[in-house]
């Protein structure tokens, strides 16, 4: 049975899944996407992903006729037909195809594509024991990175810098020295037992895993400050962490080659990690 993708109302073999050459997602990155974890055949935090997508659609004035319920049915059907129990759902919604012109088409017809692929979440549990390293790069992105658009070239180049340096992630630093987030993850530090992460604004993505960790930490009486912090503060922090759908919680033990704290995963990360995986188990029944 070949892998199937969803393209505008049809389930088609992945190798035949095509969009038009004049699709505005391709030509202008005029499109939004979501990546959602599939664990034990269930979608993690699906309502949060839908809400972020809806907010993006409103901000970009994309009028998409499918209801949340219908999107959920399609997504779950795609998992089922592919027998995908542990992996990632990728969803992309574009303004559709039209003769190339920067202005919106007069009668846009948005396109929706979804794919699934396998992803090994248990490796993230194992990586918690050692932690990961990050490098820093200048944040070269546009000013509305709170919208999850496919305009990811600056993120792509940043991630490639990380790969070239043998690091897991690149952290993006603004001109004033503020550390914003990673190329595909949110960034955190721990100082004197308090968690710090950049506040929601137009200059970071409102990560679903970020929001989950804030709730879990506060529920466990760990103070969370949503305030900007600098690279200098991060280098002097007791611990650092990153979060995302594909890395629900990973300790960061090195930034630009410099050890953070003891250079090993710290006690706050060790307290938070089981809370994160317990919440994942509560929602999906998945256990590493």
Ligand X SMILES: Cc1ncc(COP(=O)(O)O)c(C=O)c1O
- Which one, of 195, 203, 210, 137, lies nearest residue 167 by Cα? 137
205 part of the interface to ligand X, by CB under 6 A:
yes
CA pair distance 186, 207, nearest whole angstrom? 7
Helix (H, G, I), strand (E, B) or coil at 95: coil
Among the listed residues 94, 115, 149, 186, the single contact to ligand X using CB under 6 A: 186
181 part of the interface to ligand X, by CB under 6 A:
yes
82 Cβ contact partners less than 8 Å away, ≥ 6 residues apart: 3, 4, 116
- Per-residue interface string for the shown chain with ligand X, residues 107-136, x marking contact by CB under 6 A: ------------------------------
- Per-residue interface string for the shown chain with ligand X, residues 141-170, x marking contact by CB under 6 A: --------------x---------------
Q: 66: buried, middle or exposed (CB in 10 Å: 19+, 13-18, 0-12)?
A: middle
Among the listed residues 94, 115, 149, 185, the single contact to ligand X using CB under 6 A: 185
Q: Are 155 and 171 in contact (CB under 8 A)?
A: no
Q: Which of 95, 148, 159, 198 is catalytic?
A: 148
Whether 191 is catalytic: no
Q: Are 257 and 162 in contact (CB under 8 A)?
A: no
Among the listed residues 113, 179, 209, 269, the single contact to ligand X using CB under 6 A: 209
The window from 6-14, 15-23, 202-210, 252-260 that contacts ligand X (CB under 6 A) reads: 202-210
- Tell me the residue number closest to ligand X, measured at CB: 207
The window from 69-77, 83-91, 183-191, 223-231 that contacts ligand X (CB under 6 A) reads: 183-191
Length of the chain counted residue by residue: 288
The window from 64-72, 110-118, 179-187, 256-264 that contacts ligand X (CB under 6 A) reads: 179-187
Shortest CB 141 distance to ligand X, Å: 8
CA pair distance 125, 127, nearest whole angstrom? 6
Q: Are 192 and 133 in contact (CB under 8 A)?
A: no
User: How many positions of this chain bind ligand X (CB under 6 A)?
Assistant: 14
The window from 60-68, 106-114, 177-185, 263-271 that contacts ligand X (CB under 6 A) reads: 177-185
Q: Which is nearer to ligand X, 160 or 262 (CB)?
A: 160
In the Cβ-directed half-sphere of 269, how many Cα atoms lie within 13 Å? Answer: 31
Q: Are 159 and 184 in contact (CB under 8 A)?
A: yes
In degrees, to the nearest 5, what angle opens at C-alpha 283 toward C-alphas 279 and 287?
A: 70
- The catalytic residue positions are 148
Residues forming contacts to ligand X in the complex (CB under 6 A) are 35, 155, 181, 184-186, 205, 207-210, 243-245
């Amino acid at each position: 049975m070949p892998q199937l993708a969803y393209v505008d109302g049809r389930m088609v073999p992945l190798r035949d899944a095509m969009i038009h050459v004049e699709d505005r997602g391709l030509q202008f990155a005029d499109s939004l996407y979501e990546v959602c974890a599939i664990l034990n055949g269930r979608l993690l935090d699906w309502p949060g992903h839908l809400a972020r997508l809806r907010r993006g659609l409103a901000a970009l004035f994309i009028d998409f006729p499918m209801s949340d319920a219908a999107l959920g049915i399609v997504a779950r059907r795609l998992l089922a037909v592919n027998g995908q129990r542990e992996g990632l759902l990728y969803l992309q919604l574009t303004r559709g195809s039209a003769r190339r012109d920067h202005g919106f088409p007069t009668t846009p017809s948005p396109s929706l594509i979804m794919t699934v692929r396998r992803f090994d979440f248990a490796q993230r549990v194992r990586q918690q024991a050692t932690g990961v390293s990050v490098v820093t790069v200048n944040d070269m992105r546009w000013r509305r990175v709170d919208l999850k658009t496919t305009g990811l070239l600056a993120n792509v180049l940043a991630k490639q810098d990380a790969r070239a340096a043998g690091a897991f992630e690149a952290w993006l630093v603004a001109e004033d020295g503020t550390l914003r987030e990673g190329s595909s993850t949110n960034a955190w530090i721990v100082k004197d037992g308090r968690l710090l992460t950049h506040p929601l604004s137009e200059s970071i993505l409102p990560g679903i895993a970020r929001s989950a960790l804030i709730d879990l930490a506060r529920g466990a009486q760990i103070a969370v400050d949503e305030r900007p912090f600098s690279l200098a503060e991060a280098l002097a922090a007791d611990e650092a962490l990153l979060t995302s759908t594909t890395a629900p919680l990973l300790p960061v033990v090195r930034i630009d080659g410099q050890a953070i704290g003891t250079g090993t995963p710290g006690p706050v990360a060790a307290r938070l990690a089981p809370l994160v995986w317990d919440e994942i188990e509560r929602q999906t029944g998945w256990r590493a």
